[in-house]
Each structure stands twice: as C-alpha cells, then as structure tokens.
Structure 1
Amino acid sequence: MTNQSCVKIINEWDIVAARQLGRNVAKELGFGTVDQARITTAISELARNIYLYAGQGQVCIEKIFEGGKAGLQVDATDSGPGINDLRQVMEDGFSTSGGLGAGLPGVRRLMDDFVIDSSPGNGTSIKTTKWLR
C-alpha cells in the first residue's frame, strides 16, 4: 500500500495542482509554514521544469517514515529530452530559460535530500525529500 499521490503535468494549471497537493500533504504531516513554503517552491520549480523542458511528466508526493522520522518525498519524472550536462544545471545561476537560475540548485537547497538521474534522450527523474524536524 503506497501513500503516494501523483499529478500529471501537462499544462500550467497542473503546476498549481502539484503545489497545492504538496502543501496539503506537508500540512497533514505537521510541517510549519516556512517548510510548507520551501516544499511548495521546490515542487513548483520541478513541475515548471517538466512543463517547460519535457512537455509533460508527473510529480508524485508521498509521506515517508524512516527510522522514527517522518518526511515528504517528491518524485518528479518525465520522458523528455533529458539533461546534457548535469553538472552545469546544478551550478547556481545557470539558466536555459532566461529565468533567475535558482532552478535545481535552489530545489536542492530547499529540501534535505536530492537525487537526480537524467541522460540525453532518456528523460529525467528527480527524487527529493524534506524531513520533519
């Protein structure tokens, strides 16, 4: 039995839906407003990247419990073009969209755990977790 809820990302409204789902799950787990904002910002960035670069994908949000700790895990996956240079996209200030470039390095800072798997032509999978303090 999985505790996972997913939002398919196809249009901009789906980004809003993914954010809302993340905020609701964070609230249920007992995250404070600051961490709720961090989580929703991270989800927004991940969903936006799917929409902008892959066209479609999904964001799954799951309550996780490990070693007496509770957390919220976000799994963002797409089967888009993938990322050519992971090292480059993880540098602060790097942007391919002309945005501020907070992007993936920002997501990594907002959350506690961050794992990215991507290769050209094979899409991207990002798994990130925020632990309840």
Structure 2
Amino acid sequence: MWQSCSPETIKIKQETDIVTARQVGRNMSRQLGFGTIMQSRIATSISELARNIYLYAGSGTITIEPIEKNGVIGLQMTAIDAGPGIPDIRKALEDGYSTSGALGAGLPGVRRMMDEFEIHSSREEGTRVVVVKWNSPLEEGRDKW
C-alpha cells in the first residue's frame, strides 16, 4: 500500500502553496491509513512548516514522502529553505517565542505533534526541518475514541 504513494515536493512561494502542501500531506496520510486525528496533526504540521518558509525565507520546498522502518509505515516531511536561518534554535523551540508577533506555537507545536523532529539552521545555508509521524496501531486505536 505505501509503495503506491510517491514522494511529492511542493514549492512554497506564495500563501496558496501552504494550502497545497497541507492538502498533499492530508491526502497522502489518508492513503497510508492514518486515522483522522493523525491526518489533522500531519496537515497542521505541514502548514506550520510551510508558513515558516513563506514568512521568514520567502521561498523553499516541502517534500512529503512515505517511509517504512521495522514494518511500520510513516510519513516524513522535509522543509528546506535558503533564508536567513534561525539565530537561536533553542529559543525558537520555546512555546510563546515569535519574531513575527504570532502566537509562537509553530515549531514547538510541530515538535509535539510529530514522533521525530530534527532541525538544522545557519545563516549560510538556511533552514532544514525533518519530521516523521509513524502510523502506530496504538496511536490509531486512540483515534477511534
């Protein structure tokens, strides 16, 4: 089933691209058998990552791809931009911190919703965030309640 889903890369250049990335992630997570709550978490995380690219870097990409490890299917999202980088990653991962006047729930929220979270950022290379959500039967069982 998961082999039938091909990786998709969405270029983020304008605000409507955020919606496109979100829809691609929701559709792919549905195809992979994620429950509705996990589909929403995946879509929300993609939306936050894409919005950060749009707001802070101007442009970049979101790649959404199915993965498998030890017989468990997952969805990996990679957000890449060539923007100015994040000056203080530790601060950016604190709840409530924002340089744009927003709520500051973006990166900390994504980190909480995903099973794996990795971020690299520098002024020279921009920012790369890789997150993974595993389709755990235990998690899916919680979806039904």
TM-score range (shorter-chain normalised) is: over 0.9
Paired letter, 1:86: I
| Offset at residue 3 of structure 1 (A) | 3.4
The alignment status of 1:69 with 2:72, answered yes or no, reads yes
CA distance in 2, matches of 1:121, 1:42: 25
Match for 2:103: what amino acid?
L
1:16 aligns with 2:19: yes
Which residue pairs with 1:40 in the alignment? 43
User: How many angstroms apart in 2 are the aligned matches of 1:87 and 1:98?
Assistant: 18
Cα distance in 1 for residues equivalent to 2:43 and 2:126 = 23
- Asked which structure has the greater CA Rg, the reply is 2
For 2:106, which of 100, 103, 106 is the aligned residue? 103
RMSD: 1.3
Q: Does 1:125 align with 2:102?
A: no
1:3 aligns with 2:19: no
Question: TM-score normalized by structure 2?
Answer: 0.89
Gapped runs of 5+ residues in structure 2?
137-145
Pair 1:58-2:71 in alignment? no
The alignment covers a number of residue pairs equal to: 133
Secondary structure, counterpart of 2:86 in structure 1: coil
User: What TM-score, normalized by structure 1, do the two folds share?
Assistant: 0.97
Q: Whole-Å Cα distance in 1 between the matches of residues 76 and 102 of structure 2?
A: 26
Q: Percent identity?
A: 58
